[in-house]
Amino acid sequence: MGNGVQQHQATPLTQGEVLPQPSDSQAEGLKPQTRSVVNSLLSGALAGALAKTAVAPLDRTKIIFQGRQQHFSHEAYRLIYRTYLKDGFLSLWRGNSATMVRVIPYAAIQFCAHEQYKRLLGGYFGFQGKALPPVPRLLAGSMAGTTAAMLTYPLDMVRARMAVTPKEMYSNIIHVFVRISREEGLKTLYRGFTPTILGVVPYAGLSFFTYETLKKMHAERSGRPQPYSYERLVFGACAGLLGQSASYPLDVVRRRMQTAGVTGHTYGTILGTMRDIVAEEGVVRGLYKGLSMNWVKGPIAVGISFTTFDMTQILLKKLYQLRYNNR
């Protein structure tokens, strides 16, 4: 009997014979993780698109004022109204197509990266499947924002240029890339990259940290594992308020450096740009120009973004479970 088994094992494969395929249970091993990544990418893309579109007129106005020496006040809201009268309602969303080209991949990468960093840090610190402690929670958000910013920065540069220039200067996104590359050099596409990364670290870190912390505190005190949609909006608004306030001066520096080629200024370094802004406009009116508008649009955008991501994730999981149960 033993010889028979040995002979059976030694029998070579005949021509056309294939090795047995793994069972369905074996094949399912990689699917949950892959599905999680795809769901995060889709949910993040939708979240970013909805959030940015909702605040596009305010965002465009903020970029225009950040690139000027003019004082930011109620004049910003007058600018929105004058733009509407002169160019029509849809002109308030000028540059939004470039924003979507950047925001959709940026938000998709950021939210997906955040989920993956949470999983990796949770495994490293022994909190797999549980809420992370404060420091890893902050680190996961910062790493996610940095990853997304590094991969999509040239699109942010293009968006800023389209927002501060007349329609005649740049006809579309491709035209911006071509003109900048030809007239100012390819490295111009990364002008302002350093302040962007330095600003993203506290912004993304504090935003995700605040949102995740508020959800954790809510679950502990209410006994409900999931907050209602309006509660998510409030948590996201608080996250956006803290994150944007902490990183705002670097956001102003980034915009000045990005739009220097069309505003007649020459900004070389972060410290040099900050020094020029403070010397010409002062600390508050220079480095915090547009912050009041950011306190309006930031909480709205971040609240919509986090809420949309969470609700889309829940919806996709329910759809998968429904399809699985109907098999």
C-alpha closest to that of 263 among 245, 288, 280: 280
Hey, what are 325's tokens? Answer: 């149960």
> Region 221-231: what's the mean pLDDT?
92
> Residue 140: which pLDDT band, with cuts at 50, 70 and 90?
very high
Please name the residues in contact with 208: beta carbons below 8 A apart, sequence gap of 6 or more: 114, 137, 138, 140, 141, 144, 145, 239
What CA–CA distance (Å, rounded) separates 31 from 85?
Answer: 53
User: Could you tell me the pLDDT band of residue 218, with boundaries at 50, 70 and 90?
Assistant: very high
Rounded Cα distance between 297 and 319, Å, is 32
Q: How confident is the model at residue 64, as a pLDDT? A: 66
Is residue 106's pLDDT more than 70? yes
Tokens of residue 281, six digits: 């406009």
How far, in Å, CA of 206 to CA of 139, rounded?
Answer: 9
Give the tens place of pLDDT for each residue, 265-292. 677 678 888 888 888 888 888 888 777 7
Q: Specify the pLDDT at position 262.
A: 63
Cα–Cα distance measured from residue 318 to residue 36, given in angstroms and rounded to the nearest whole number: 13
- Interval 2-25: pLDDT, tens: 444 444 444 444 444 444 444 443
Which residue has better confidence, 249 or 89? 249
